[in-house]
Amino acid sequence: MKVAVVGATGMVGNVMLQVLREKSFPITELIPVASEKSIGKIIPFGGLEFPVVSMQDAIDRKPDIALFSAGGETSLNWAPKFAEVGTVVIDNSSAWRMNPDHKLIVPEINGDLLTSNDKIIANPNCSTIQMVLALKPLHEQYGIKRVVVSTYQSISGTGIKAVEQMENEREGVDGEMAYPYPIDQNCLPHCDVFLENGYTKEEMKLSNETQKILDPSIKVTATAVRVPVSGGHSEAVNVEFEKDFDLSEVRSLLHQQSGIILKDDPTTNTYPMPLYAKGKDEVFVGRIRRDESQEKTLNMWIVADNLRKGAATNAVQIAELLMQKQLIPSMV
């Protein structure tokens, strides 16, 4: 099993390598790919050392799977070239997510849609993945009409420069700014770029991707906020249903959902926090309660590690599913 990791030296690429190691993914040859300046850099993996290679060198080796985390433009340019040589691409950028010809996959929700014809598979946005995983069993039972979500997103979602900015600010060091304002001791209602409608791209991803993954009839409105947390996204989610619900049944449905862990006991101050979710693959849900201002409406708090389930882990889980379903050409 030849596996290319495109963007191997970046934050998500590093976590992809870590998750592949942890899951003992059956790699016979690792092909790390990064920018020109990183070519030749050694990546240790499984007791061996693998040099970073160029994009074309990786294509020439015809990997079975390529895990992409190198930005949308890189993916648009190179993912089709990998697909042409028979590689199955799992892309973590936004390049293919809303393309009607490509599937947007969270394995626990819609992994059954994958077929041998899928050569470029989109990994959803980090904040979308954790939300839809919690929404799925509730939508099946009660029918979701509308979702109002406010996010509290880690700076790691922006990348290493944002993490360095916050560390510099905390140490009183002048350095490169990833944001237009300080992030330490601050909250920025500004995730990704602003669009003509006044929303940011991140906010529209939550709306558009939820509709594509779960149901186009679900109305979603979002406010995405960057907070000075080094790892883990949190979301306050308000959900209006077609049918009324029982809170004990809601908890039971969430408890039974693969990939979800309930942390919901106010009497013991038990609720999800990014501090607890960091480094874990599950999505944590708590603060479950009725919205007393409106009928058939639920409030909940959802937290996950954005670099793991929100990115790397979900991509590797897609790769595992492809293997289980024997949808990788070399396995047929």
H-state helical runs in the chain? 11-22, 55-60, 72-84, 107-110, 126-142, 160-171, 201-213, 247-256, 274-277, 313-324
Q: What's the pLDDT score for residue 281?
A: 97
Residue 185, number of CB atoms within 10 A of its CB: 9
Single out the catalytic residue among 102, 126, 139, 191: 126
Q: In three state form, how does the secondary structure of 229-270 look?
A: CCCCEEEEEEEEECCCCCHHHHHHHHHHCCCEEECCEHHHCE
Tell me the average pLDDT of the chain. Answer: 97
255 part of the active site: no
Is the pLDDT assigned to residue 330 strictly greater than 80?
no
Q: What's the pLDDT score for residue 329?
A: 80
* Structure tokens given for 65: 């799977």
Is the pLDDT assigned to residue 313 strictly greater than 90?
yes
Measured CA to CA, the distance from residue 313 to residue 25 in angstroms comes to: 12
233 part of the active site: yes
Q: What's the pLDDT score for residue 160?
A: 92
pLDDT digits (tens, 9 = 90+) for 14-43: 999 999 999 999 999 999 999 999 999 999
Single out the catalytic residue among 102, 139, 191, 233: 233
Residue 250 has φ and ψ, to the nearest 5°, of -55, -50
Measured CA to CA, the distance from residue 14 to residue 216 in angstroms comes to: 34
pLDDT digits (tens, 9 = 90+) for 293-310: 999 999 999 999 999 999
Q: Are 49 and 30 in contact (CB under 8 A)?
A: no
Mean predicted confidence (pLDDT) in 41-56: 95
Write b or e for each residue in 188-220: b if 16 or more Cβ atoms lie within 10 A of its Cβ, otherwise e: beebbeeeeeebbebbbbbbbbbbbbbeeebeb
Quote the distance between the C-alpha of residue 151 and its chain's center: 14
Q: What's the pLDDT score for residue 14?
A: 96
Measured CA to CA, the distance from residue 214 to residue 53 in angstroms comes to: 38
Closest by CA position to 14, among listed 312, 277, 320, 314: 312
Q: Are 235 and 303 in contact (CB under 8 A)?
A: yes
Model confidence band, residue 260 (pLDDT cutoffs 50, 70, 90): very high
Mean predicted confidence (pLDDT) in 158-179: 95
Is the pLDDT assigned to residue 182 strictly greater than 90?
yes
Is the pLDDT assigned to residue 332 strictly greater than 70?
no
Closest by CA position to 228, among listed 286, 183, 182: 183
Mean predicted confidence (pLDDT) in 94-116: 97
If phi > 0 it is left, if psi is from -120 to 50 it is alpha, else beta; for residue 302 that is beta
Mean predicted confidence (pLDDT) in 271-285: 97
Domains contained in the chain, CATH given: 2-124+311-331 (3.40.50.720), 127-306 (3.30.360.10)
Write b or e for each residue in 30-62: b if 16 or more Cβ atoms lie within 10 A of its Cβ, otherwise e: bbbbbeeebeeeebebeeeebebbebeebbeee
